[in-house]
Each structure stands twice: as C-alpha cells, then as structure tokens.
Chain A
C-alpha cells in the first residue's frame, strides 16, 4: 500500500448540506421527516382538540359493554348480551368465512372460464368472453345488490314448499331447500360424538373446537402423508427401473378407507332441513346475505382470475408445447410437466392480489346486511357507541393485518419461485 498523506480536512460550509452528495441525501431526508412529523402532529393535535370539544376522549372501554344487537349468521355462539368485542370477533370470522368461500369458488370458476376462453370451440369461447366482460365492467356493489334482489325476489318462499301440491320442491334428493329466506343444507351430525373442547374460557374470543373435526383432520393428514410416501416410492421405483407403477387405486384407498372407518365409528349422519310450520328447521341455514355476497364476489373476481389464467397460459410460448410434443410427451404430461409449472409462476402473484381484492370487497357486505367486521365493528357498534375514531381506526387495522398477511404469503411464494428459477 502506498503511503498517502491525508487530504487536507475540508472546512464544513453550510452550502455543503445541499451540494455535497454525502450530506445532500441526509438533508432531504431530514426535511421530509420534519415535514411528515409536522403534518402528523398537526393532525393529532387537531383531533385531540376536536374530540375534547365533543367530549369524547379516546378510550376503548366500550368494547366491554354489552352489544345488545343480534348477529343472525354466525359460526360461534353469540347472544345480544355479549360484548362489542365478541361481536367484532364474530364479524371478523364472518369476513373470513365469506373471503375463503369466495376465493375457492372464484378460483374454480375463474380457472374454468379462463381455460374455456381459449377453447377452440368458437361458441364457448365467445360465451366466456361475454361473461368476463359483463362482470368486469359493472361495479361489484351492483352485482352484490342484484344478487340479493334475485335471491329475495326470484326464489320461492318457504310456504311454497307446503301443502299437498307444493309449487316448489327441495333439491338434491330432498336435502337442500333453496328459499327466499336463505338456503338450508344438511348439517353433519355424529351420534357417538367425542364432544368439544372449549378454548379461551369466557373471554371474547372463546370458541369451541369439535374433537370430531380434529380426529377427522388427523386421519386426513395421516392419509395424505401416506399418499405422499407411496408417491415418493413410485417415483423412486421409476428412477430405478424406468417404469412407474400404477398407484392411483392404492392412493384412492389410502385416502378414503380410513376416513370412512372413522366416520362410521363416530356415527356420522346428515341432519336434513325439514319444513316445520312456516319455516325450515334443522340443517345449516345460510342466509341470503351470505349467499348473495358469496355469489357476487366470487363471480366478479372469477372474471378477473379468468383473464389472469388466460394470460398466463398464453404467456407460455407455443414453442414450449411443440418442443415437449416433439420429445414425445403426451398432452397430459406436457400440461403437467412443462406448461403448468411455467404458467403458475405468471399466474399466482396476480391471483393472490385478486384474493386480496375479494377480501377487501367483502366489506361491501354492509350493503346487504351481512354482519362481517364492517357490519359489526364499523356498523352497528360504531353507531351505537358513537366511537367513530376508535372503530374506524380499528377496522382499518384489522383489514391491514389481513392484507399484510396475504402479501406476506405472496412475497414468500415469489421468493421461493425465484429461487427455483436459478
């Protein structure tokens, strides 16, 4: 290393804050930060003054008070004596229910429509195009309200099922009743049930977990684990001998036999809805609000997913399938081994952002009276307690948490895919 005399120490001048690349960025950042903090301080002080004038200091004690309103569509037990916090929790679960149902349905419909849009059957492709354009270009709120109107106006009332000569009949071997008060579907019952465990005592987020469900999940998990082992064995055999043994019947057996044994052991049977008096009793009652929201959200989102799927498949050049075909792979294998792995990489990130949109759009539940988190926390609770600031901010926080967890999944997936690529 050559010895080098240190350059003479420069005098610090004020103009260096602006013109020296070392200080310039710091200067700008400090100015930005000060500006931001001034803005935040201004807003906060305004808010405090305004709230004082209104006599509503910020506090969250109202969450413990009795909600005194009913939530008719719910997963867990709840009564109007329960607290606002409990109501919000039930609402959050309702949001998640409609989001999950919607995402699943939207994916199924969307993939189907996206693939059919590429069909070489001209008529089918056109019909699917009409579907996509129709749903994409009309506001989702209109679809939700419309779906609700169709359910209420277009479906028979429960009393249409009555009498010797009913004008309406139940569907699917008398197991499902579609009425203008909602859809009644059979519920799962166990005559030799294992019972429930009660979690979180009497707190607002208490809930019961059915041991039957846990047993079912354990058996299902075990089956899937075994299936993967069998599949790995088949792959190993293929690598060793070149022949892949036929395993699909073994796989089916592993999947279903333990499940059926378990269900029989627990005394599984269905509880069918029955018409009693003016209404149906028994079975699980899905209210119109839930169904309208679910249908509208999933059909609307499906239109977007269809476009993503179509674009994803089109993005894989024709050369890829031609090359695979030239190597002698059959169409099914080409799809599974060549096209899908590449298309999924294009498809999945925008698909997840559509799931995010669906979840956020589920807040429109308030338009049809479905009690999701917006309907409880941002609706009745807020109106009853008059705590707008607390309720709206909490509501935003809840959605933000949901969104951030979905984006975290997306980032994780993107990173994983990126690694695989290299």
Chain B
C-alpha cells in the first residue's frame, strides 16, 4: 500500500473543530438479508472534523457512509445529520441529500452531460438556482479543482483523476456542509491519486466536514483529526492519527496496520 508523500505544508489555520454536532449516529444496526453488516454503531462527528475510516474490505465502512445519505437504509438506531433525523420521511431524506455531498469510487459522472451540465444539474433542479448563477458557481468550483478549461467536454474525454475532481466539484456546487468520500482514489492510477488528494486537502484546509473511506494512510496521518478503524461491521478503534498509527491499541488494528504499511 502506498503511503503517498504529501510534499507541501498543510495550512491548519482554518481546520478547526467546532462544538456544533454535524452527524450523530446512535446504536445503528443494518442487515443485508440475514447478514449483519453494521453492528451497534455509535459515532458523533462535529462540524469541521476530518475523519478517515479505514479497515479491511467487507468491514462495512462503505456501507456506513452510504447510510449517512440514505443510499442504504438502516434498520435500527438513529442517524441525525445536521439536525435532521434520517427517518422514513422523504422530505428529510431529500433535505439531507442536498446538504451532504458524496464522491464515489467510480466517480458516477453522468456521461451524457457535459462537465458544466454535470455540475449545474442538481443546483438547478434540486436547489432551484437560476441557470446563470448555477453556471457561475460551477465555474468557480471547477477553477478550484483546477479544470475550468474542461467545462464543455464530456466525462468520457477526461482522465480518471480529472473525472474525480469534477465529481468533487459537482458535489461542492450543492454547497454541502458535509462531504462523504467513498474510496475516492481506489479506481485511479498512482499518478492521478495525488491530484485528487490535493483537492481533498484544499477542501480540508477550508474547514469542510469530511468523512473519508480511504486506504491512503498518508492522507489520514496528515489531514485527519480522527481515524476510525472498522472490522466485521463494528468500530474497533478510533483515535487521533498520531496515536492510531504509532500506538495502536487493539490486536486487530495492529495486524491491519502491519499488513497495510509494513513490508
């Protein structure tokens, strides 16, 4: 596993954790059929936190963050996102989805729409933003992820890293208060991982609340303020990155870290 070096200094001035609660999960359980994927999850995320969720494949980490915007339904427990409870009420689900951005492993850009249209679609239809304003905002975020010149191209014409940056910009256009990243770099070639990570670091520097499922331990070490280790559907260990990497407590974590880092 690569521990990608992040060369530049990270500006931590705005990376402050407030007391305001962004996400609160209490006693959450989820089953796929009879398979218990998430077991008794309790997690509180404050505004401005940058959390990396790590763990072996099949440990339920993707499922956990997909539950946060109701892409997966949980069966027991309570999830409150930004003051709105994720219940069976469709209005709540719509509200949460428009305030939580999500970036997928396979980008999930819409291939029949241009980059600009990808970014303006949801603001226009969900937020009812006027088209001109939506386009201005989209260009702003495309500049931020450093691909404004690609605005009129189609996703198929872009490289993987560029597509993932568009996906980030697309989420940002909805002005989310929380961003979820589901293995954003796993489908990318090594040289493209860096450009996506850079974008994510910039986001963190601006104080965005982020939950990342990722195997990029360098990113976790330098950007996260908390690392959560999951195995077999439960949270096994969570700690600050320094402690987590240097002084893991649980045997399971040690084994995982030795496999992922040590050679």
Q: Which chain A residues have a beta carbon within 8 Å of chain B's beta carbons? A: 1-2, 4, 7, 16, 18-22, 24
* Interface 9-mer from B88-96, B146-154, B200-208: B88-96
B residues near A7, Cβ cutoff 8 Å: 78
Q: Output the nearest chain A residue to B40 by Cβ-Cβ distance.
A: A2
Between A and B, how many residue pairs show CB distances below 8 Å? 21
A residues near B88, Cβ cutoff 8 Å: 20-22
Q: Contact: B90 with A19, CB < 8 Å?
A: yes
Q: Which chain B residues have a beta carbon within 8 Å of chain A's beta carbons? A: 27, 40, 73, 78, 87-91, 93
Q: Contact: A24 with B78, CB < 8 Å?
A: no
A residues near B73, Cβ cutoff 8 Å: 21
Q: Output the nearest chain B residue to A18 by Cβ-Cβ distance.
A: B90
Q: Contact: B78 with A21, CB < 8 Å?
A: no
Our pick among A4, A18, A21, A24 for the contact of B27 (Cβ within 8 Å) is A4
Asked, given contacts A2-B27, A7-B78, whether A19 binds B89 with beta carbons under 8 Å apart, the answer is: yes
Instruction: Give A44 to B87 CA distance when docked, in angstroms.
Output: 43
Q: Mind listing 6 A-B residue pairs with CB under 8 Å? A: A1-B40, A2-B40, A20-B87, A21-B88, A21-B93, A24-B90
B residues near A18, Cβ cutoff 8 Å: 90
Q: Contact: A20 with B78, CB < 8 Å?
A: no
A residues near B90, Cβ cutoff 8 Å: 18-21, 24
B residues near A22, Cβ cutoff 8 Å: 88
A87: min CB distance to chain B, Å: 54
Across the A-B interface, give the 8 residue pairs with the lowest CB-CB distance, nearest first.
Answer: A21-B88, A19-B90, A20-B88, A22-B88, A19-B91, A19-B89, A20-B89, A4-B27
A10: min CB distance to chain B, Å: 9
Apart from the given pairs A2-B40, A19-B90, 13 other A-B contacts in the complex at a CB distance below 8 Å: A2-B27, A4-B27, A7-B78, A16-B89, A19-B89, A19-B91, A20-B87, A20-B88, A20-B90, A21-B88, A21-B89, A21-B93, A24-B90
A residues near B78, Cβ cutoff 8 Å: 7
Instruction: Give A110 to B40 CA distance when docked, in angstroms.
Output: 61
A346: min CB distance to chain B, Å: 27
B152: min CB distance to chain A, Å: 37
A residues near B87, Cβ cutoff 8 Å: 20
A341: min CB distance to chain B, Å: 32
A residues near B89, Cβ cutoff 8 Å: 16, 19-21
B256: min CB distance to chain A, Å: 26
Q: Output the nearest chain A residue to B94 by Cβ-Cβ distance.
A: A19
Q: Output the nearest chain B residue to A23 by Cβ-Cβ distance.
A: B88
Q: Output the nearest chain B residue to A1 by Cβ-Cβ distance.
A: B40
Which of B27, B40, B89 has the largest number of chain A CB atoms within 10 A? B89
A310: min CB distance to chain B, Å: 30
A27: min CB distance to chain B, Å: 12
A317: min CB distance to chain B, Å: 24
B46: min CB distance to chain A, Å: 22
A26: min CB distance to chain B, Å: 12
B residues near A1, Cβ cutoff 8 Å: 40
Instruction: Give A1 to B73 CA distance when docked, in angstroms.
Output: 21
Instruction: Give A16 to B91 CA distance when docked, in angstroms.
Output: 10
A5: min CB distance to chain B, Å: 11
A15: min CB distance to chain B, Å: 9
A226: min CB distance to chain B, Å: 48
A14: min CB distance to chain B, Å: 14
A11: min CB distance to chain B, Å: 13
B97: min CB distance to chain A, Å: 13
Q: Output the nearest chain A residue to B26 by Cβ-Cβ distance.
A: A4
B residues near A24, Cβ cutoff 8 Å: 90
A6: min CB distance to chain B, Å: 12
B211: min CB distance to chain A, Å: 23
B residues near A21, Cβ cutoff 8 Å: 73, 88-90, 93
Instruction: Give A7 to B90 CA distance when docked, in angstroms.
Output: 19
Instruction: Give A22 to B93 CA distance when docked, in angstroms.
Output: 13
Instruction: Give A18 to B88 CA distance when docked, in angstroms.
Output: 11
Instruction: Give A16 to B88 CA distance when docked, in angstroms.
Output: 9
Instruction: Give A20 to B73 CA distance when docked, in angstroms.
Output: 13
B residues near A20, Cβ cutoff 8 Å: 87-90
Instruction: Give A358 to B27 CA distance when docked, in angstroms.
Output: 60
B67: min CB distance to chain A, Å: 14
Instruction: Give A284 to B93 CA distance when docked, in angstroms.
Output: 74
A82: min CB distance to chain B, Å: 57
A residues near B27, Cβ cutoff 8 Å: 2, 4
Which of A1, A18, A19 has the largest number of chain B CB atoms within 10 A? A19
Instruction: Give A1 to B90 CA distance when docked, in angstroms.
Output: 30
Instruction: Give A22 to B73 CA distance when docked, in angstroms.
Output: 12
